[in-house]
Structure 1
Amino acid sequence: MKNKITLLSIFSFISIFAQIPPGYYDSATGSGYTLKTQLYNIINNHNDQGYDSFDAFTATNDLDLYYENDNSTILDIYSENPSGTDPYNYTPITDECGNYNGEGVCYNKEHVIPQSIFSQNNPMRGDAHHLLPTDGRVNGFRSNYPFGYVGSNLVSQSGISNPTMNGSKLGNNINTGLFSGYTGNVFEPIDEFKGDIARIYFYFITRYETQVTNWNYSMFNGTSTQVLTDTFLYTLLDWHLNDPVSQKEINRNNAIYTYQNNRNPFIDHPEYACQVWSSHCNTLSSTDFALNENTTIYPNPSTNGIFTVSSTENLDTITVYNINGQIIERIQYSNVNVINNSTYTISNLSSGFYLVEITSNNKKAIKKIIVN
């Protein structure tokens, strides 16, 4: 539970930067599915701008102001390399297309919730909250597959590498622990954008809760309350909790409010997710508890830009994020025999606030550190 409590306090800290209209969430006073319906009543009946209008929105509001910071190319979650040079970049409008013969040729509009699910009907088709500009080939590669943790078997497809150029991948669902119950193929974006995808789904199944029971999709369970099957609800909550809201999401949420007059509540108030799906969050917390308790980070605060991670668990990865959600450093113990009581020192951090994600055997914990 401790790592989740820490995350909620972090989320509350981040939320103060969002430009939420006064009183917008005043009626969101309940808990569980009552809260979800209250949020539906707040965000429904948005001003549908139509699918074609999204091109102009993207040209202004989906630019890379966060990584390359060039203010002239599209931020594509399937090609962005958060810690290095992107494999390719796209100029808004100029590089948009419908036809492609490989990755890196052009971008188009992806429906994060596949539009075939809702028969391409409005207002879902043009809802900017779940429309993203992405590489055309990778968009086609992802197809209608659900999102999830990919196991050991990747799917081969001619004309595209798997993983893709930035590490997104398609393969069988990991199907272990809380993420078991689905044996088909899933698509997994890189860690940097997992929370973005989760919050888009939480928005969509809240905004359209009166219609979602009519849609047949492997991620959905046929209800208007939980909506997601346990497999995918645990997956998306895990992504939500372990990839906090970024400034990119906050800025985009504000722009969409101006564009179509509704907001994503799970960006403004990330704590809503665990208030709606509380039992699932509690289960996730209990599975991660041992990892959190058996891992320490010191000194905290750090006064010299150096801290050490020490754990009695066999760690898989250590990832350091800044307040904007950017990866500062990642240590991966793949193909390495890591012994218990492992320690790793991270240095050269500038002053600021950081999140440290630690993973071990499908368990995750997040701790915050401060460098003075």
Structure 2
Amino acid sequence: MLATRIRRWKSVALATTAVLVGITAPTLTATPAAATTTAYDSTYYKNAVGKTGSSLKSSLHTIISANVSKISYSAVWNALKVTDQDPNNSSNVILMYSGASRSKSLNGGAVGDWNREHVWAKSHGDFGEVTGPGTDLHHLRPADVTVNSIRGNKDFDNGGSTVSGGGGSLTDSDSFEPRDADKGDVARMILYMAVRYDGGDGFADLEPNEKVNNGSAPYIGKLSVLKAWNEQDPPSAFEEKRNQVIYDTYQHNRNPFIDHPEWVEAIW
């Protein structure tokens, strides 16, 4: 489906050497995502490849907004049962934030159920559950009802106290930090929304910023943290398959940051 990605990470040898000689090792961070090649570069992405900055963002907006099929909010239930199916148990879905595998039949609003999480919180831009941003599968994921409620409409940032049942997620009064395995997913979903919905289609112009506690403004932070998460947690096979299913079966558009995670740094 997609060519193998090549990613380079800073060696841990420096840290090991530091311990041996009794000095403090510097903090190690991931290098920017290496350029990738996909099966869609000469077709779907042909007008974006090679561009950077606002030119790349504009080209991607045009690409991912063209000929898109939209579904109703009620139809999202069944769509998520397909897009987020547990690869090891076809009767279950994998839940965002917790990573738990739960029966597809337990969709609803009660404790122990899973519901439809808007990763770009719907109050950030006041689009609710309207067909369009409110039903866009690229940022809708199944999540445990209780964990979803704890996340609420909080912005994304590092730090906080452990979320019960959250798989290692953390939260404080104004932000939410997903478990490590979902950090890149969150970043790429948020940045997809910022490119897809630019204010030109009757909805708010969604943008990331460097704040938390954005409230009802059409912003979500923190951009610097989201960029770091994109580097730290590259696209997984599950995320790539999900992108493909949405493209093939439902909306017929792609999240470009799953196919090309290096485009995050190229734009922002």
Q: TM class by shorter-chain length?
A: 0.7 to 0.9
* C-alpha displacement of 1:44: 1.0
Deviation per residue, 1:201-251 (Å, 9 max, x gap):
110000002244489996599xxxxx967x611000000011111111110
Identity %: 32
C-alpha spacing 1:216/1:129, structure 2 compared with 1 (3 Å) = closer
Task: State the match for 2:60 in structure 1.
Answer: 39
Are residues 1:113 and 2:120 paired? yes
Asked if 2 retains the 8 angstrom alpha-carbon contact of 1:110 and 1:133, the reply is: yes
Pairing partner for 2:43 from 11, 20, 23: 23
Within the candidate set 183, 191, 194, 2:183 is matched to: 194
Contact residue 220 and residue 228 of structure 1 kept, 8 A: no
Shift of 1:165: 4.6
- Backbone CA RMSD of aligned residues: 2.9
* Cα deviation 1:137-195 (Å, max 9, x = unaligned): 111111111111014xx3xxxxxx734351212115xxxxxxxxxxxx21111111100
Could you tell me which residue of structure 1 aligns to residue 265 of structure 2? 274
User: Take 1:62 and 1:187, find their aligned partners in 2: how far apart are those partners?
Assistant: 22
Query: By how many angstroms is 1:30 displaced?
Result: 2.4
Match of residue 52 from structure 1: 74
Q: Which moved more, 1:26-35 or 1:245-254?
A: 26-35
For 1:1-372, what aligned pairs fall within 5 Å after superposition? 3=10, 7-9=32-34, 12=36, 16=38, 20=40, 22-28=42-48, 29-45=50-66, 46-65=68-87, 69-80=88-99, 86=100, 89-92=101-104, 94-100=105-111, 105-117=112-124, 118-120=126-128, 121-151=130-160, 154=161, 162-171=163-172, 185-210=174-199, 211-213=203-205, 232-258=222-248, 259-277=250-268
Deviates more, 1:212-221 or 1:250-259: 212-221
Question: If the length of structure 1 is used for normalisation, what is the TM-score?
Answer: 0.56
C-alpha separation in 2, matches of 1:148 and 1:256: 28
SS at match of 2:86: coil
**Looking at CA atoms only, which structure, 1 or 2, has the larger radius of gyration?**
1
Equivalents in 2 of 1:215, 1:127: separation in Å? 16
Letter in 2 for 1:243: D
Q: Whose RCO is larger (CA < 8 A, sep 6+)?
A: 2
CA distance in 1: counterparts of 2:70 and 2:224, whole angstroms: 31
For 1:143, the aligned partner's letter is: G
Q: Distance in 1 between matches of 2:206 and 2:86?
A: 37
State the match for 1:329 in structure 2: none
Whole-angstrom distance in 2 between the partners of 1:275 and 1:216: 15
- Matching residue's letter, 1:164: G
Distance verdict in 2 for CA 1:192–1:58, change over 3 Å: same
Is the 2:54–2:267 contact (alpha carbons within 8 Å) kept by the matching residues of 1? Answer: yes
Q: Please, which runs of 5 or more residues in structure 2 have no aligned partner?
A: 1-7, 11-28
CA distance in 2, matches of 1:114, 1:245: 22
Q: Which has the higher strand share?
A: 1
For residues 287-308 of structure 1, give each alpha carbon's deviation from its aligned partner in whole angstroms, at most 9, with x where no partner exists.
xxxxxxxxxxxxxxxxxxxxxx
Q: Distance in 2 between matches of 1:164 and 1:171?
A: 15
Contact 1:106 1:136 in 2 (8 A): yes
3-state SS of paired residue (1:134): strand
The aligned amino acid for 1:8 is: A
Check 1:165–1:49 CA distance in 2 against 1; reply closer, same or farther (3 A cut).
closer
TM (norm. structure 2) is: 0.77
8 Å Cα contact 2:32-2:265 kept in structure 1: no
